[in-house]
Structure 1
Amino acid sequence: MKSIAPDIPVFKLYGESLAWPTPDLLHCESIPQRSSLHHWEIKPHRHADLFQLLYVQEGEALAAVENQRLRLAEAAIQVVPPLCVHGFQFSEDIQGYVLTLAAPLVAHLEELLGHNLGLQGGFACYPVGADRAYLDLLFERLFREYRGHEPARELQLQALVNLLMVWLGRHERRRATPLGASERNRQHLTRFMRLVEQHYREHLSVDAFAHRVGLSGVHLNSLCRQLVGQSALQVIHQRLLLEAKRNLIYTAMTVNELSDALGFSDPAYFSRFFRRLAGQSPKAFRQSAAAGGAPTPHRDDEG
């Protein structure tokens, strides 16, 4: 695999824009599903606020993770924390799954587990050994549930992810922190992401967030652009947009109620905010989501 270039792209999912593509807090796909579109090679890149698990079942994967090169020729789970530069080259007979967890779910899991998923275990690789059948079943059900629209789907997905995190936690060993961005910058960004998760409904200014992180607003913006590929304000707005989309799909809240719940003082301003970032009105988004089979509740809406 080629060496990692100095300008590493930042993706949500490989090859896609910086907008999280789904109102779900996770994304699950087969390894061939995406890698086959790129001639079985995922070039070096990183994710700003996503935690990924790559489960190789069959075939071979050559992994470039920060300054290390790994060869996965047996069933194993490769952990890729946020900000970790990584790339893969797969054999054409590769079989397995990629599970991607978004920032809100990562924050929830970190609270349950009592440690930071991005820094504690690093980019560990765990051979599955005797647990192969258990993990095959776990990933298969997670993949099937993710693609379906059964009742209580989100609850079932959460339960399956929890089981997977317990398995990882029990197999975790202390490892060296990855050598991507400097440790201090990684910690600053992690702190900022956590504060956004806690306070995005309060519409704090970038300077207010920066003060709590211990940086100037200019420094925080520079850090976000360097490691995330977005300004600090864009990070905050994308979190608000994700929550708005989730509520439009999974709740019966009216636009007025949603505007208030997300801390907007004026529903008209919320609708303009949503249209600017999503490219359509909240009502149109809800209708298109319902037409696409998403579990949208029945209730009159306005706006």
Structure 2
Amino acid sequence: MAQHSIVPVFKLYGEQMGWPTPELLHCESIHQRSSLYEWHIRVHQHAELVQILYLHKGQAEIEVEGEKIVVTEACIQVVPSLCVHGFRFSPGTQGYVLSLALPLLTRFEAEFGRQMAVLSRPHCIAVKQSRLHIRTLFSTLLDEYQQDNDARELMLHAMLSALLVWLNRQVQGSLPVEDKAERRRAVMRQFARQIESHYREHLPLSDYAQAIGLSVTHLNYLCHEFYDCSALNVLHQRLMLEAKRSLQYTSMTVTQLSDYLGFSDATYFSRFFRRYAGVSPKIFRENMKRSKDIP
């Protein structure tokens, strides 16, 4: 437990900003971020996203939950949410990093019809004869991500679906037995899925705890271990994520957004937003518009 209290929790490595895009996925080359840090991404964890790293060419030392491996062949490393991980690349390493926010994954799992087991445990999957196919998939996905083409989100989701199905097929029937730490992470992922299904309903924490078979006290204990905050704060962070995204990427009025998020009135919503963001919803939206106008 002590380990989780000292490991940095990032949205994206080295950043403290909110989620940067409306579609809740982020794609970049290994070079784009790692070269800024001398090709060394120090150990950290992500509370609210899963990462899929594709190593195409070069060498990488991958550390996940204290275990290190060195890979030199094309492979995909899956890093589930709340897993402590870090990377050390040889300079010039080629590949891609795909970050997927949990709300997006919940949507994909609903379409898939069941939980995607491949994203629930860390895996290093050799690409082998699929190397050209996977490289093309990632490079096309990055190109689409960086453009503003017609039906962009539909295309991104189509390519992501193809990748997730391929990954899930590689590990069918090969999942290891869960250890105690993984069971705790699995419970937190259940909590995240419950939040995703009900965060606009403003249910009491006791309902969430009951749904995943815990007491409120134990749920708070695990949230402090993995998120470094209370269960209520985790729930409020999801509300704030949706509020900020809606203010930034939609034209909903504050009153409309308040209704959409299930608040009893706009005044209460504005007080809630100011408590976590430090500014009113109106000022936040104005600040976002100004930041877009700065070249």
| Counterpart position of 2:225 | 226
1:135 equivalent in structure 2? 134
Give the letter for the 1:168 counterpart.
L
Other-structure match for 1:248:
247
- Partner of 1:299 in structure 2? none
Q: Give 5+ residue unaligned stretches, structure 1.
A: 295-303
**Distance change (3 Å), C-alpha of 1:121 and 1:5:** closer
For residues 19 and 207 of structure 1, the distance between their equivalents in structure 2, rounded to whole angstroms, comes to: 28
Q: What amino acid is aligned across from residue 176 of structure 2 in structure 1?
A: A
Distance of 1:5 and 1:254 partners within structure 2:
39
Residue 17 (structure 1) shift: 3.4
TM-superposed CA distance for 1:262, in Å, is 0.7
1:19: how far off? 4.8
- What is residue 62 of structure 1 aligned with on the other side? 61
Is the 1:124–1:175 contact (alpha carbons within 8 Å) kept by the matching residues of 2?
no
Q: CA deviation at 1:71?
A: 1.9
Are residues 147 and 225 of structure 1, via their aligned partners in 2, closer, same or farther at CA, if it must alter by over 3 Å? farther
1:213 pairs with 2:217:
no
Change (3 A) 1:21 1:278: farther
Equivalent in the alignment of 2:176: 176
Note if 1:52 corresponds to 2:51: yes
The one-letter amino acid of 1:217's match is V
Which SS does the other structure have where 1:204 is aligned? coil
The match for 1:99 is 98
Q: What amino acid is the match of 1:145? A: E
| 2:121 maps to 1:122 | yes
Q: Counterpart in 2 of 1:282?
A: 281
For residue 228 of structure 1, report the CA deviation from its aligned partner. Answer: 2.0
Q: Does the CA contact (< 8 Å) of 1:196 and 1:236 recur in 2?
A: yes
Cα 1:293/1:133, change in 2 over 3 Å: farther
The alpha-carbon distance between structure 1 residues 78 and 177, as it changes in their structure 2 partners (threshold 3 A), is farther
Aligned to 1:14: 13
Moved more, 153-162 or 48-57: 153-162
Return the offset for 1:120.
6.4
Structure 2 partner of 1:42: 41
Structure-to-structure mapping, 1:182-221, within 5 angstroms: 182-221=181-220
Aligned length, in residue pairs: 290
Could you tell me whether the CA contact under 8 Å between 1:74 and 1:127 is conserved in 2? Answer: yes
The SS at the match of 1:211 is helix
Report how far residue 115 of structure 1 moved.
Answer: 3.9
Deviations 1:71-98 (A, max 9, x none): 2212211111122222211001111111
Provide Cα deviations, 1:217-263, integer angstroms capped at 9, x if missing partner.
22211211101223212211121122223333443322211110110
Q: Which amino acid aligns with 1:75?
A: A
Q: Give the whole-Å Cα distance in 2 for the aligned partners of 1:152 and 1:289.
A: 24
CA contact (8 A) 1:121 1:175 kept: no
**Cα contact 2:78–2:119 (8 A) shared by 1:** no
Larger helix percent: 2
Paired AA for residue 243 in structure 1: E
Is the 1:55–1:78 Cα contact (8 Å) retained in structure 2?
A: yes
* Letter of the structure 2 residue corresponding to residue 175 of structure 1: L
The aligned counterpart of 1:236 is 235
Structure 1 residues 251 and 27: alpha-carbon distance in aligned structure 2, compared to 1, 3 A threshold: same
| Partner SS for 2:105 | helix
Asked whether the equivalents of residues 255 and 267 of structure 1 are also in contact (C-alpha less than 8 Å), the reply is yes
Contact 1:19 1:238 in 2 (8 A): no
Equivalent position of 1:74 in the other structure: 73
Residues 14, 68 of structure 1: CA spacing in aligned structure 2 closer, same or farther, 3 A cutoff?
same
Deviations 1:17-66 (A, max 9, x none): 38545443111122122222222212222222321100111211011122
**RMSD of aligned Cα (Å):** 2.7
TM-score normalised to structure 2 length: 0.86
Q: Match of 2:162, SS? A: helix
Assess if the C-alpha contact under 8 Å between 1:66 and 1:178 holds in 2.
no
Q: Measure the CA separation in 2 of the matches of 1:129 and 1:98.
A: 19
Percent same amino acid among aligned pairs? 50
Partners of 1:136 and 1:119 in 2: CA distance? 19
Q: 1:111 matched to which residue of 2?
A: 110
Residues 1:139 and 1:284: Cα distance change in structure 2 (over 3 Å): farther
Q: 1:102: how far off?
A: 0.6
**Residue identity in the other structure for 1:25:** L
Cross-structure match for 2:164 = 165
